[in-house]
Structure 1
């Protein structure tokens, strides 16, 4: 157990955060598996101690942060971090930690050092949309196709997609498959081309279920660009950043020369310097900013749209932006416009997180207390550190009230109803891109019932039903909740939690289709059986030649060679799929195209399997006049038939991985 300056700050709740992070990484700009090789092992969990501390002076807060962040930098291989808090209309504290450039030991300066803030950029996009709504140029509740001329969103459902749907992640899009984070400016394509050619399928009616969508916010930003007549980056600069005096913030890529020298380097989990990350769809996450500038932005939102003498939104518009626009479940956090609720405290907390490959950020607002907090880390380990820091801050200064848990009547008889495998709505449903589906398969829950309680595999906690379809952690020591949603037939269709957040639902499905561990195990077992069979045939053939035994029928030899081709293709496909799934990130278009160049392999495998089926038929029925009788012994025919059946099952698995793209 880690100890922070004598204070055992890894409470039960904060350790649970690490567990959840290890299971889920839903809110990144791209489909990145967030890892930290230096994460401490999780062995024991200590009960929380929710004792509220008064947030009185900046020096007291600084001492609190000094007891946490420097240790995080060391323990999670993080080069640097930046922090700002505003309170009661003023800057309460701004401070940098560690290095912006570890090699030159350039310290992080909260006022000058730029960090990539990832999806926190979406709050600026939302402000831009709302400005045009105030100007009468946009309407939140009409079909977005009214604003599009170069391309149109397909009318898959009767209900049209609106800007309100886009800003609340409820448009009903599947996950986009084009690369969002690129490693070089040369890979950037025209914004309009990306959006027109990369329209994700509409997989559900709008305003029914949330599913985090970078494409949705990119489309909203594109509409700002189309209607305003100014490119998106320039609009944000002229209408938001300049009026607020955010002179060290930009959406431009690459950075302007006046700011590039102040940009922090990003680092991987081994503290190797990374590259500047180019965002292919700027409205979804291309902003770079300082903690000091983010303090100005937070002050503006808390002050209902104004900072000093400058106003970027009217009071009522800001109130609408920050209010709940999409309710996931009565007792769970919801979504505002470009912002969402965090259910961490008795206080209402809203904000947005942001993750790129190397940078991990979060901005939260506590409107009733007039407090805003921003923090960002410049290394891969910052994903865990960022989440833990905010958890520590909430526990220290804004802790939740934990009451007694009273299960509802008959809860023990209902628990089985909720068992199942649940997978994120932020996934690819269609056959758009080879291997795309598997990037999100790990983001799932398996829920089991035990003595009337629910247990999520990987989280050693139990949940009990206190209201119909609504569960809380059973001991009352945590602030963790799960709500199950029924479809029109009364069957459980999906769930929401307060620890994953409102921008993601998890849909109930079958693990044989989406369960990566089950499917991986099946593929490995099938390939092993195939390999052993081929090895047996090969060894037996060598022995037959050595002992000068009579050669097998030519058709039998052809059948074996056919299956060798079948196995080889299956193995190659599985290996390349594993390389894609286990890679930390597939960024550049060239890399994606290399993998997509293997799209022919699944079809070759399909043909090889058909060939194997034909040979299986002949094995039982014979062929031509001289081979009217079946070849092979009965055991040999059964063996070959089993191998053919395994090949057919593999086709089903490969199809579920979206490898057959027409």
Structure 2
């Protein structure tokens, strides 16, 4: 059985709230089985800071009638084939709702349709844009300095990293340098839901990058900003947003409060992994400012209009115009030629139009929001299912690309010539990479370092392939260099670029991905080139040794042979085989732990389970000494055959390899943080 398929259970929780609308690294896209959702060419360039390009004559007029015909022809069949229960879509234009519609069912058992005005969906990390709006209200009030050390707003301390403090601008651009975390991210039992204050003080992630240098998405960092709003305002975060954002905008079907307040549940859509299975429970988000929002399509229309009108909606203002303009402007560009981060929003490729947005994923709900700033158009879509093989990821990608290409198509441009140094640059990029959004402090390194590395290769012509940069057909894209480390998708219009300093790759990014993560070269010590083969080879050796131990005993018993070893050699033989059993048990227990699909499994309440697994691993690590001692005893003994000597060495290597993986993947740690 493929271990990678089992670790996907962790991946579901790990990407919850991440807000990746088109992220093959974070959520591998898959093709809908026989579905209508087809690959729509990615827009040619983001040009996020350029004036919008002139609309080509081939553009469709964005009207309610045309949008209705387009989405009525796309979404009903897409959600049916994708095993998705329901969806809501809202389009706003020039300060008005242009089009809103519900598709499918909010509750399959009750046969309750989706009402775009009243049915509540969970937009996941789109919640952050409300929280960042609250932060900017505090900036506007003079209570927050975007470039000050955030410790001055806290009642505990975030330690500096390499002498640099974390600022609010770092938090808003996901460049604070925090290691990612999945523990207590989503729970089902309200009794296990910790207060925001408790989580912020007890779950400070490790720091892995200097602030302001590296994109690394952080739910903790976003929630820390929400906690600062709570402290400075003197109001609970959910109450603050209700009073200062929901109320002015007339968002009467929205709440951050968890569990869902009385009176709201009647309108709450059920959440499904797939429509053909029973619904799941209401997901309680531990770091609530990062993803706890429940809202309707109609309410999201009001919020989008407010941002498209620089903070104003029907005479009510949630931000001054200058504050809103600052919030929407580029702030951090990890790769200068690709989209970067605004304050809380990420820039998106929009065929030369200025587009910002966010997306959100819980386990059961998946959503996107896109704001075409200079065109005064907003698009929100949300699904109450993940769908078969993650179908909603492809649908969302297709909706955004299709909408952009239909109503804001890119002008025709001549094909750029292949860069003269394509072969040499392809060789420079080749190697193994790891996502900058990762957990470095706990056992999630299994997913990140051992099984989650991306491989970059180049063909003889210099065309580059990145294993994790995939299209909606789930196949890796190919990239042709058109400038110094600037790449165009072969047969498509996505862009990729790398930052290379002194001949060494710093990061690789693509405009298919939001600018909150990048690929970084892996150190030689952690490279999958040798670690993955060593991992599987060691498991095979340990498994063979563990199985042949009782088999050999059975054969001796069956044919009346005696065990020829005595004394210390016999003891070390048995201890070595016992260590093999322990190491296999250790690996098996992690396999079992990672296979759990209950999101509440990855919570503080199960720390004792991890401690027991770690105890088994500790026994195996110490037992490696017995395997080494066995080699020292076997080799001088002339009565032992060549197979005894070879097998003792192989087993010792496998046991030492287990110690290496235990330490390098942080499978045994003093503090249980992940």
Cα distance in 2, alignment partners of residues 72 and 43 from structure 1: 6
Identify the residue that residue 392 of structure 1 maps to in structure 2.
402
Contact 1:435 1:580 in 2 (8 A): no
Contact 1:326–1:335 under 8 Å retained in 2: yes
Tell me the equivalent position of 2:367. 361
Equivalent residues of 2:305, 2:378 under 8 A apart: yes
Give the structure 2 partner of residue 601 of structure 1. Answer: 616
Matched, 1:403 2:408: no
Change over 3 Å in CA distance of 1:478–1:379 after alignment to 2? same
- Where does residue 340 of structure 2 map in the other structure? 334
Query: Contact 1:55–1:61 at 8 Å: present in 2 too?
Result: no
Paired position in structure 2 for 1:417: 428
* More divergent stretch after superposition (641-650 vs 242-251): 641-650
State the 1:400 CA deviation. Answer: 3.0
Counterpart-to-counterpart distance in 2, 1:140 and 1:603 = 46
Q: In the TM superposition, what whole-angstrom CA distance separates every residue of 1:447-482 from its partner, at most 9, and x where no partner exists? A: 1010221122364542122221221124xx422111
Quick one: which of 438, 443, 453 aligns to 2:447? 438
Match of 2:354 in 1: 348
For the pair 1:455 / 2:471, whether they are aligned, the reply is: no
1 CA distance for matches of 2:62 and 2:206? 51
SS of equivalent residue, structure 1 residue 351? strand
Alignment-derived partner of residue 657 in structure 1 = 665
Mean CA deviation greater in 577-586 or 609-618: 577-586
Structure 2 residue aligned with 1:139, among 122, 140, 145?
Answer: 145
TM-score (norm 2): 0.87
1:234-253 equivalences under 5 Å are 234-253=239-258
The match for 2:16 among 18, 28, 44 is: 28
C-alpha change, 1:309 and 1:408, in structure 2 (3 Å) is same
1:243 is paired with a residue whose SS is: helix
Residue 195 to residue 332, structure 1, CA distance change in 2 (3 Å): same
Residue 615 of structure 1 deviates from its aligned partner by 2.4
Q: 2:223 aligns with which of 218, 222, 226?
A: 218
Cα distance in 1 for residues equivalent to 2:201 and 2:324: 31
Which residue, out of 376, 381, 390, partners 1:375?
381
SS of residue matched to 1:447: strand
- The answer to whether the 8 Å contact 1:344/1:479 transfers is no
Partner of 1:12: none
TM-score (ref. length: structure 1): 0.88
Q: 1:581 to 1:37 in 2, by over 3 A?
A: farther
**Residue 639 of structure 1 aligns with which residue?**
647
Alignment check: 8 A CA contact 1:80 1:378 kept: yes
Matched, 1:266 2:266: no
Closer, same or farther: CA 534–587 of 1 in aligned 2, 3 Å:
closer
> Using the alignment, how far apart are the partners of 2:71 and 2:110 within structure 1?
24
Take 2:42 and 2:198, find their aligned partners in 1: how far apart are those partners?
53
Which structure 2 residues correspond to residues 507-526 of structure 1 after superposition, within 5 A?
507-510=520-523, 513=526, 515=528, 519=531, 522-526=534-538
The one of 436, 440, 446 aligned to 1:429: 440
Does the CA contact (< 8 Å) of 1:79 and 1:271 recur in 2?
no
Q: Distance in 2 between matches of 1:258 and 1:193?
A: 28
Change (3 A) 1:304 1:267: same
Per-residue deviation, 1:41:
6.9
Task: Choose from 573, 580, 590 the match for 1:560.
Answer: 573
**Residues in 2 aligned to 1:550 and 1:271: alpha-carbon distance in whole angstroms:** 56
Residues 248 and 464 (structure 1 numbering): CA distance in 2 closer, same or farther, change over 3 Å?
Answer: same
CA contact (8 A) 1:36 1:380 kept: no
Higher RCO structure (Cα 8 Å, ≥6 apart): 2
Structure-2 separation of matches of 1:117 and 1:345:
26
Residue by residue, what CA displacement relative to the aligned partner does 1:496-531 show, whole Å, maximum 9, x if unpaired? 11112211111111587264x975554343232233
Structure 2 gap segments, 5+ residues each: 1-7, 20-24, 44-55
Counterpart of 1:494 in 2: which secondary structure? strand
Q: Contact 1:434/1:595 (CA < 8 Å) preserved in 2? A: no
The 1:61–1:542 alpha-carbon spacing in structure 2 relative to 1, beyond 3 Å, is: closer
- Kept after mapping to 2: 8 A contact 1:400/1:479: no
Whole-angstrom distance in 2 between the partners of 1:43 and 1:366: 26
* Residue of structure 2 equivalent to 1:11: none
Q: Partner of 1:110 in structure 2?
A: 116
Distance across 1 between alignment mates of 2:138 and 2:42: 47
Residue range with higher mean Cα deviation, 501-510 or 439-448: 439-448
- 1:40 counterpart = 2:33: yes
- Partner of residue 228 from structure 1, selected from 227, 233, 239: 233
**Aligned counterpart for 1:505 among listed residues 503, 514, 518:** 518
Is the 2:543–2:584 contact (alpha carbons within 8 Å) kept by the matching residues of 1?
no
Distance 1:660 1:467, change over 3 A: same
Partners of 1:396 and 1:561 lie apart in 2 by 70
CA distance 1:438–1:514, change in 2 (3 Å): farther
**In the alignment, is the contact (CA less than 8 A) between 2:535 and 2:657 conserved in 1?**
no
Q: Equivalents in 2 of 1:540, 1:443: separation in Å?
A: 38
- The number of aligned residues is 627
Question: Where do 5+ consecutive residues of structure 1 fail to align?
Answer: 1-20, 622-628
Root-mean-square deviation (CA), in Å?
2.8
TM-superposed deviation, 1:549 = 4.8
